[in-house]
Amino acid sequence: MIARNFAISLISILPFIPLSAQKAPTSRCAVEGALLPRPTNVCSHPAFQSAASKLSSYFDDVLSGNLTADFDTVNTSFAIAFVSLQPGWPRPNKPIYTYTHLSPANENGAKKLDGDSQFLIGSISKLFTDIILLKSGVDVSEKITKFLPELSTTESLVRWDDVTIEDLGEHLAGMGPNYGFPEIYDLIPLYQQLGFPPVEESDFPPCNVAGLNRACTRQQLLDGLTKAHPVTAVGERAVYSNLAFTLISFALQNATGKNYSTLLDELVIQPLNLTNTGASPGDASKAVIPPVDNGWGLDYGFSTPAGGLFSSINDLSALALSILDKRLLPPSKLRKWLKPTSSTPNLQYSVGFPWEIYRTTNLTPSYPHTIDIYAKDGGAYGYVSRIGIIDQYGVGFVVLTAGDTEAIYPIAEATVATLIPAVEEAARSEAEKYTGVFGSDAEAPVTANFTIDSGPGVKIQSLMRNGSDILRAIATIWESQQVSLGPLSRDFRIYPMEISRSQGLGNGAVVKEDWRIAMERDTEKELPTAVAFGKTCTTWQTFDLLYYGGQPIDRVVFWLNVTTREVLGVEVPFLRSGMLERMDGDMMARMERVN
Ligand SMILES: *[C@@H]1O[C@H](CO)[C@@H](O)[C@H](O)[C@H]1NC(C)=O
Ligand SMILES: *[C@@H]1O[C@H](CO)[C@@H](O)[C@H](O)[C@H]1NC(C)=O
Ligand SMILES: *[C@@H]1O[C@H](CO)[C@@H](O)[C@H](O)[C@H]1NC(C)=O
Ligand SMILES: *[C@@H]1O[C@H](CO)[C@@H](O)[C@H](O)[C@H]1NC(C)=O
Ligand SMILES: *[C@@H]1O[C@H](CO)[C@@H](O)[C@H](O)[C@H]1NC(C)=O
Ligand SMILES: *[C@@H]1O[C@H](CO)[C@@H](O)[C@H](O)[C@H]1NC(C)=O
Ligand SMILES: *[C@@H]1O[C@H](CO)[C@@H](O)[C@H](O)[C@H]1NC(C)=O
Ligand SMILES: *[C@@H]1O[C@H](CO)[C@@H](O)[C@H](O)[C@H]1NC(C)=O
């Protein structure tokens, strides 16, 4: 029935389609994530080498006073690392770029700053805690009250029975950030001078109030949490919470019988061979200790899982690389982990587990497209840090600062603004191997011409079979579906799909890599519009939609040499093309006569 209707619709519509309508695309949609294969030789690419030396001279100039930056360069130390996937297995675990500066004003701590120097990393600790959770085998969909039944009381204002471990790890429990802290008892007179009413000592929480009482015990914290007001309903919107991570550590302890430091050691530090990461206090002789008030040397107690770790750029680089090469967690779980879980009112800023996700189109001005940075910031007294993962390029960065707490922002901005355009260049250069004219000399010859231009992905300039223009055919078929799919852009582009398999053995082995055509709508505006849906990007809804003889009309498969990764040819399964070889001049001349 469906087939018959389809045939009828195709037949009835076909004659009316203006086949000559070759409109330029009005907007670029492309696909989510990687637009080209992740480059593996960024560090040797001339564009990167030149960007890296430019970045270093920016920092040199800031420190020499030749360039102004919005931070106190006298009291601030910092360390920057940039990582990229590199060839080889095991892959090299070191950054491809570093820059370090030790403030001459430092009186305590390390006398030199290198990749192993220790900084407090504040809330980057939450990233470690979520990793521990994901690696612990604990089911994150379990309710927190399964592990901490004492939270399950009828008087509790927070509906703890509704809160899952996952809610806690992605700031969706609706709970507040802290208990007791950061109230400072000694400031009460100042508040009253400013007009606040009098309060009794008994009004305060029994613990964690600076100047009044001691740090909370586990029991006091849990009691406090049954009396605390929720900020919002469970699952309603992201509310940043430190205590959520303390609760995760309590739940983990209950589920595994192991404390946080043991789990950190067994699940992260040892597997990644991190040598300068742990629960504060670290090693003062290797520490960057700024000349301003700071929290180096503190024991963060129950707050450690939220903000009490120290680490180094080398260790955080190793962590970033283990995420980029999908080694830290099972790959499918890791890919899903690199997704937002909540939005914020800022279209370009969302929240994950526990990622702080920046979506920008500004980083590659020569080839504008969407780039997501999965980042986590951390602040500890006197320290601010940021780690960032840009999975679509297989790159990441780490910026650790000690001193002026504003330093991180211009430093992290300069780092990505300078290096990412070069990474884009490197990705484009490496993807040149997928371009060219491919063809087969078969009875019904097929030729495909792939290029890289300033747009996203690899462009299909042409796809011909025995004289027929297959791209035009796809558009015709697309536009004559009974349920309208809308007008199709004539700008056909393919994108790598992270699906590959090896075939054959030894020298004959090939890797077959799936790419897909993203079917982009050609948007037309006729009625009045406020562009409410103007940025709609529906390519994710239209993969694998149309088939021909059991083969999807968007699938293109590249054949690579398993050893050299050289592209041997390309196959267009829906055209039954077999492997199309890269064409030499003679072959092109022969084909010219046909197509
Ligand atoms: C500042 O820049 C000028 C001009 O580029 C250069 O001559 C000078 O040596 C620089 N000064 C320092 C301290 O780097
Ligand atoms: C986990 O919590 C339950 C309920 O409080 C308790 O019975 C059990 O002993 C705890 N397990 C561990 C390992 O702490
Ligand atoms: C965690 O457990 C280990 C092993 O039982 C113990 O040596 C360590 O002192 C504990 N750490 C903390 C912070 O309680
Ligand atoms: C772990 O790191 C240390 C110090 O960086 C290094 O000497 C050692 O070889 C590493 N071990 C492994 C198994 O990679
Ligand atoms: C550096 O720190 C010292 C000590 O805290 C402070 O007196 C000085 O003003 C700071 N320097 C700058 C440039 O902020
Ligand atoms: C190729 O096209 C020619 C000319 O239209 C036609 O005669 C021939 O049958 C076609 N070959 C195949 C295999 O479709
Ligand atoms: C392939 O496409 C490019 C870009 O449009 C063009 O310059 C080139 O001539 C084409 N090659 C063939 C053999 O058609
Ligand atoms: C892959 O490359 C190696 C090394 O150049 C070569 O020996 C082998 O024959 C190639 N395999 C294929 C299938 O092209």
Q: Is there a single domain that holds both residue 363 and residue 350? A: yes
Number of helical (H) and strand (E) elements in the chain, helices listed first: 16, 22
* Burial class of residue 119, CB neighbours in 10 A (0-12, 13-18, 19+): buried
Distances 248 to 138, 242, 261, 340 between C-alpha atoms, Å: 11, 10, 13, 20
Q: Is there a single domain that holds both residue 416 and residue 318? A: yes
- Index of the ligand 4 atom closest to the CA of residue 93: 14
- Domain boundary, last residue among 430, 455, 472: 430
For residue range 521-572, list pLDDT tens digits in order.
886 555 665 655 555 666 666 677 777 877 788 899 999 999 999 999 999 9
- Index of the ligand 8 atom closest to the CA of residue 510: 13
Q: Is there a single domain that holds both residue 424 and residue 440? A: no
From CA 530, how far away is CA 551, in angstroms rounded? 39
Gap from CA of 466 to ligand 6 centroid (Å): 6
Please, are residues 405 and 382 in contact by the beta-carbon 8 Å criterion? yes
Pair of tokens at residue 249: 């550590």
From CA 533, how far away is CA 531, in angstroms rounded? 5
Gap from CA of 360 to ligand 4 centroid (Å): 37
Which of 87, 69, 77 is CA-nearest to residue 111? Answer: 77
Out of 103, 117, 123, 241, which one is annotated catalytic?
123
The range of the structural domain enclosing residue 299 comes to 2-124+258-430
Q: Is there a single domain that holds both residue 483 and residue 393? A: no
Domain count, the chain: 2
Ligand 2 neighbour 534 (Cβ under 6 A): no
pLDDT value, residue 594? 58
Active site (annotated) includes residue 241? no
Assess if residue 41 is contained within a domain. Answer: yes
Assess if residue 115 is contained within a domain. Answer: yes
Gap from CA of 401 to ligand 8 centroid (Å): 48
- Domain boundary, last residue among 375, 407, 430: 430
Q: Is there a single domain that holds both residue 395 and residue 517? A: no
Nearest residue by C-alpha to atom 2 in ligand 4: 273
Ligand 3 pocket list (CB less than 6 A): 259, 261-262
- Domain boundary, last residue among 430, 459, 490: 430
Ligand nearest to the CA of 250: 2
From CA 377, how far away is CA 126, in angstroms rounded? 10
Q: Does the pLDDT at position 235 exceed 90? A: yes
Model pTM score? 0.89
Assess if residue 13 is contained within a domain. Answer: yes
Q: Tell whether omega for the bond before 37 is within 30 degrees of 0, i.e. cis.
A: no
Q: Is there a single domain that holds both residue 368 and residue 512? A: no
From CA 408, how far away is CA 87, in angstroms rounded? 31
Q: Average of pLDDT values for 235-247?
A: 95
Ligand nearest to the CA of 65: 1
Q: Is there a single domain that holds both residue 501 and residue 370? A: no
| Residues facing residue 388 across a β-bridge | 375, 397
pLDDT value, residue 486? 84
Which of 441, 447, 466, 595 to mutate for ligand 6's pocket (most ligand atoms within 8 Å of CB)?
466
Out of 9, 56, 156, 240, which one is annotated catalytic?
240
For residue range 144-162, list pLDDT tens digits in order.
999 999 999 989 989 999 9
Q: Which residue has the tokens 């930056």?
A: 69
Active site (annotated) includes residue 358? no
For residue range 10-33, list pLDDT tens digits in order.
333 333 333 333 333 344 789 999
Q: Does the pLDDT at position 272 exceed 70? A: yes
CATH, residue 391:
3.40.710
Assess if residue 230 is contained within a domain. Answer: no
For residue range 169-197, list pLDDT tens digits in order.
999 999 999 998 888 899 999 999 999 98
Q: Is there a single domain that holds both residue 439 and residue 322? A: no
